[in-house]
Amino acid sequence: MSLMSLTAVALGEKIKAKEVSAAEAAKEALEAVSKREEQIHSFVTVDEERVLERAAQVQKGIAEGKYTGILAGVPVAVKDNLCTEGMLTTCSSKILENFVPTYTAEAVVNLENAGAVIIGKTNMDEFAMGSTTETSAFGVTRNPWNTDFVPGGSSGGSCAAVAAEECSFALGSDTGGSIRQPSSFCGVTGMKPTYGTVSRYGLIAYGSSLDQIGPVAKDVTDCAAVLECIASHDRKDSTSIQREDYDFTSALVDDVKGMRIGIPRDYFGEGLDGEVQEAVMAAAKELEKKGAVVEEFDLSLTEYAIPAYYVIACAEASSNLARFDGVKYGYRTKEYNGLHNMYKKTRSEGFGAEVKRRIMLGSFVLSSGYYDAYYLKALRTKALIKQAFDQAFSKYDIILGPAAPTTAPRLGESLSDPIKMYLGDIYTISVNLAGLPGISLPCGVDSKGLPVGLQLIGNCFEEKKLFRAAYAYEQTREYRHCPVTER
Amino acid sequence: MKQFETVIGLEVHVELATKTKIFCSCSTEFGGAPNSHTCPVCTGMPGSLPVLNKQVLEYAAAVGLATNCTITKNCKFDRKNYFYPDNPQNYQISQLYLPICRNGAIEIETENGKKKIGIHEIHMEEDAGKLIHDEWGESSLVDFNRSGVPLIEIVSEPDMRSADEVIAYLEKLRLIIQYLGASDCKLQEGSMRADVNLSVREAGASEFGTRTEMKNLNSFKAIRRAIEGETERQIDLIESGKAVVQETRRWDDAKEYSYAMRSKEDAQDYRYFPEPDLTPIVIDDAWLEEIRKRQPELRTEKMERYQKEFQIPAYDAEILTSNKRLADFFEETTALCGSPKKVSNWLMVETMRLLKENNLEPEQIPFSPENLAKLIGLTEAKAINSTVAKEVFEEIFAKDIDPEAYVEEHGLKTISDDNALRETIKKVIAENPQSVQDYQSGKKKAIGFLVGQTMKAMQGKADPGSVNAILTELLQ
């Protein structure tokens, strides 16, 4: 049995107990990578030499008592929109195909300080724009459960890598569901913390007011342990918040007696797959059996979340991605005639279709004459959605629903119909608009053998309630290793 | 012929005197090897984030308070999007929707009397880098040392009607900001930059004419010439039946002409929106009160204090406080020598004259208060007379020499040996019988000639007062 089939915490304990070394763990991760990458393609960059060197260094650090945490020596995969000093960071875009940052993202620094070993950088939808990891400039990632299907996106590489057991856990980023949706498709557990909990410093921005880094792992315990490590108040990020409750693992208690759980009727309407609905409702029953008070309610405004999200995220993206111009770093077109031609050719050749679509959409909604009608209205909608959640959380501790309307679609099915693809984000997007924490965890498989994800949503700064409910549910079922890991 | 009125509003950019940049901890120091004062934030590296330098907020609020503005208690930053290589993110973090200060005014004084000039708003923003064009190759290079240096932009109302009013407004603004220590406001070095928005209309008209915006004005003289030139250009257009085009023009001071840079039609859509990487700023009253309390003495208060504390005339106080450095210099020198009126005289007369001759600003006074204080000490001890003192002062101004050592070395000390002086005077009396006779017959003015002759004989090294006294005594 591979060490990579263990949870991060279980492996961390073995390393702590000196049963295995960081180097052995790293080697097994690299072996899994070399065995499965051809089928799955979770990674953009894996630097074996660097991994082994780092693992040896960490092992030394463990022996010297420098690394004492549970993640010391544990292999981690990092989404390729997180800057890593001296290591290629591409956002899966041609425009950053040669970009090597001079500094490391704060969340990754926190992991490194805990002794985690970075195995590589994972594939993603280009600049995190997409729901399938098919918009990557470096090829698609396939779902480890069935390679004819997508892993979801945009953190598809991170989620596939965890499911395919090429690493112990991973970091993803979530702007509209980019951790929770692919976690659901890949049968792993992924969580998006409250906005401001994990520093965004070094995360290459997509929609700055919505982006949040979070863990992708095999179970809830790992998610809590990883969040405990990466969450910090960072003065380099003005939107980072000082919290008092970083001890998230203390919330891992199998007890939901009296916990009030609300199920929004809005999430169970048109478009929701019957099998997904069944699995999610069964999960709600399990929690009810454990003593939670489960009831249905009307959240309202759900249908406005998608348009508001695409206006705000694209507006911010159109500005955030302006810096990729061929002047300072990244790709520059080979031949050009003057400055403006260089800009135009570089960006035309460097960005993919989905990124261009969103830049154009974002530029349009910010244009003079349209700003009030689109951008300002979207901001107001965002505020109303937050109010709707505030109201819900005055009655419920947790909101329960599906992470996505369906299980993973087939490769190539989504990009031809972007509107349909955008609608797939319906259950995850409003969580980002309201800045809330959300977690997606497996709750079954459909008749195609593809995983179904359960989403739990908490109020701002109430990750602990989220972890407690998720942990309690998780105790009712076994972790299912995906078929690819048996080969 | 029709009478025209010029209507002018100004946009003044002022570089704030913070030690570090507005959104990162890089130094704002001028000069330095290209890109030596840079980091991921001010070079727009992917994933970097801005953090507001609190000192910028303090300076901006201080300028706002000193110009009678309302401080926006809930203000925020916005992004101004445009592509240019000196702008590493291709957007500038600025303020559009909720600028820090609004609705202020300052009073100016010109030959036509006093007038209030309204301030529409003051906002905070970041400066861009600098492009260096390679004259031989086909490339340009970017130096980001200036990228992220904090600026405030002070936007006036279109309340000015002449170049005189514009200069008076700028001088007043500069003085206020210098007094606050918020900037050194040097036009030549670009730490203060003014863009002139100008239109003309028939006298008495209530509507404004079409305006142009003039850039590249590096001195008060250039501003004056540009205003005069642009007024004339616009009047010529109107009188010949043509329309003024709303556009941005670049002033060429050498050619005394402005060139169209871009018209309103090519004006960019900056797609402003709230900066999501910075949280809104909430200013509380206590903090504002603290800024208010920390406001240094401004000019009017200083003028009053000088008259009271140092017993100098209002005229002196006005000149000395016309420049912060001059006022500071006055106080420093007075503290050393204890003779305020003498210090004032040296600064107002000789210092000003030499500054002007050498084309220098008061900020550039090339000598130390210590040496001027010593010089005043020498004259008060009557160790040198005023003629010698002026000579020595020229040396102080030129080389900041120590006047005590200099006087000693060059043997310029007044000869206080009474006997030697008496002997010389006796000789002068003997050699000038006519003057002696004139004096004794009542023409008291004749003594002047005798004093002069004595000074000449003494090679200037006598105290004219003593010469006068001895002469009067001997001629009785």
**DSSP code per residue over B87-145:** STTSEEEE-SSS-SEEEEEEEEEETTEEEEEEEEEEEEEEPP-EEEE-SSSS-EEEE-T
Contact list, B51 vs chain A (CB under 8 Å): 235-238
Q: Which of A112, A98, A115 is nearest to A11 (CA)?
A: A115
CA atoms within 13 A on the CB side of B469: 7
Q: What part of A 313-372 touches B (C-beta under 8 Å)?
A: 315-316, 318-319, 322-325, 327-329, 339, 343, 363, 366-368, 371
- Closest chain A residue to the Cα of B44, Cα to Cα: A323
DSSP assignment of B301-335, as one string? HHHHHHHHHH---HHHHHHHTTSHHHHHHHHHHHH
Residue A296 domain flag: no
- Interatomic CA distance for residues A51 and A118, integer angstroms: 7
Domain that holds residue A41: 3-255
pLDDT of chain B, 476 residues: tens digit per residue: 679 999 999 999 999 999 999 999 999 998 899 999 999 999 999 999 999 999 999 999 999 999 999 999 999 999 999 999 999 999 999 999 999 999 999 999 999 999 999 999 999 999 999 999 877 777 889 999 999 999 999 999 999 999 999 999 999 999 999 999 999 998 888 899 999 999 999 988 999 999 999 998 989 999 999 999 999 999 999 999 999 999 999 999 888 888 888 777 677 899 999 999 999 999 999 999 999 998 888 888 899 999 999 999 999 999 999 888 899 999 999 999 999 999 999 999 999 999 999 988 888 899 999 999 999 999 988 888 888 899 999 999 999 999 999 988 888 887 666 777 888 888 888 888 888 888 888 888 888 888 888 888 887 777 787 888 888 888 87
Tell me how close the Cα of B356 comes to any Cα of chain A, in angstroms.
45
Query: Considering only alpha carbons, which residue of chain A is nearest residue B274?
Result: A316
> Which pLDDT belongs to residue B438?
86
Nearest to B209 by CA among B191, B174, B233: B233
Please choose, from the candidates B411, B392, B414, B430, the residue with its C-alpha nearest in 3D space to the C-alpha of residue B467.
Answer: B414
Choosing among A93, A208, A238, A380, which should be mutated to test the B contact, i.e. which has the most B CBs within 10 A?
A238
Contacts of A375 in chain B (CB under 8 A): 273
Domain assignment present for A448: no
Q: Provide the pLDDT for residue B416.
A: 62
Does any domain span residue A9?
Answer: yes
In a domain, A202, yes or no: yes
- Give domain status of residue A231, yes or no: yes
Q: Which residues of B touch A83 (CB under 8 A)?
A: 45-47
Asked if the peptide bond before residue A154 counts as cis, ω within 30 degrees of 0, the response is yes
pLDDT digits (tens, 9 = 90+) for B240-292: 999 999 999 999 988 888 888 877 767 789 999 999 999 999 999 999 999 99
Q: A96 at the B interface (CB within 8 A)? A: yes
The answer to whether A51 touches A33, Cβ cutoff 8 Å, is no
Give the C-alpha separation, B179 to B90, whole Å.
35
Pairwise CB contact (< 8 Å): B88 & A328: yes
Using a CB-CB distance cutoff of 8 angstroms, which residues of chain B are in contact with residue A89?
Answer: 46
Cβ of A368 and B271 within 8 Å?
yes
The residues of A annotated with a catalytic role in the active site are: 79, 154, 178
| Residue A114 Cα, gap to closest chain B Cα (Å) | 22
Question: Any residues with CB less than 8 A from the CB of B138 and at least 6 apart, and which?
Answer: none
Inter-chain CB proximity B45 and A343 less than 8 Å? no
CA distance A83 to B382: 74
The residue of chain A nearest to residue B89, with distances taken between CA atoms, is: A323
CA angle centred on A409, ends A407 and A412, rounded to 5°: 170
Q: Give me the sign of the Cα torsion angle B340, B343, B348, B349.
A: positive
Instruction: Specify the CATH number for the domain of residue A17.
Output: 3.90.1300.10
Residue range(s) in chain B whose domain bears CATH number 1.10.10.410:
418-474
Is residue A238 within 8 angstroms of chain B, CB to CB?
yes
**pLDDT value for B16:** 97
- Alpha helix stretches (DSSP H) within B253-385: 285-294, 299-310, 314-320, 324-337, 340-345, 352-357, 369-380
Q: Is residue A324 in some structural domain?
A: no
Radius of gyration of chain B (CA): 30
Provide the whole-model pTM.
0.87
Separate counts of helices (H) and strands (E) for chain B: 16, 16
Distance from CA of A124 to the nearest CA of B (A): 16
CATH 1.10.10.410 is right for the domain spanning B418-474: yes
Whether residues A322 and B91 touch (CB distance < 8 A) is answered with yes
Q: Can you tell me the distance from the alpha carbon of A217 to that of A226, in angstroms, rounded to the nearest whole number?
A: 9
CA–CA dist A121, B101 (Å, integer):
46
Q: Within a 13 Å sphere around the CA of A363, how many CA atoms are in the beta-carbon half? A: 15
In tens, the pLDDT along A218-230 reads: 999 999 999 999 9
User: Among candidates B230, B228, B223, B261, which has minimal Cα distance to B244?
Assistant: B230
Q: Tokens 């060197």 sit at which residue? A: A53
Interface contact B278-A82, CB threshold 8 A? no
Burial letters A278-317, b for 16+ CB under 10 A, else e: ebbbebbebbeebebebeeeebbbbebbbebbbbbbbbbb
Q: What gap in Å lies between CA B98 and CA B140, rounded to an integer?
A: 36
**Residues of B whose CB is below 8 A from A104:** none
The answer to whether A366 contacts B83, with C-beta atoms less than 8 Å apart, is no
Residue in chain B lying closest to A91 (CA) = B46
Nearest to A238 among B142, B273, B279 (CB): B279
- Residues for chain A: how many in total? 487
CA separation for the pair A44, A50 (Å, rounded):
15
Q: Is residue A88 part of a domain?
A: yes
Q: Inter-chain contact B83–A325, Cβ cutoff 8 Å?
A: yes
Q: Nearest Cβ partner of B89 from A235, A236, A323?
A: A323
Rounded-to-integer distance, Cα A430 and Cα B49, Å: 25
Rounded to whole angstroms, the Cα distance separating A315 from B354 reads 58
Q: Beta-carbon neighbour count of residue B156 at 10 Å?
A: 26
Residues of chain B found within 8 Å of residue A233, distances taken between Cβ atoms: none
Displacement of CA A308 from its chain's centroid (Å): 21
The answer to whether the CB atoms of A316 and B276 lie below 8 A apart is yes
3-state helix, strand, coil in chain A (%, to 5): 45, 15, 45
Number of domains observed in the structure of chain A: 1
B279: which chain A residues are within 8 Å (Cβ-Cβ)?
238-239
Closest alpha carbon within chain A to B281: A238
The interface pTM score, or ipTM, of the predicted complex is 0.96
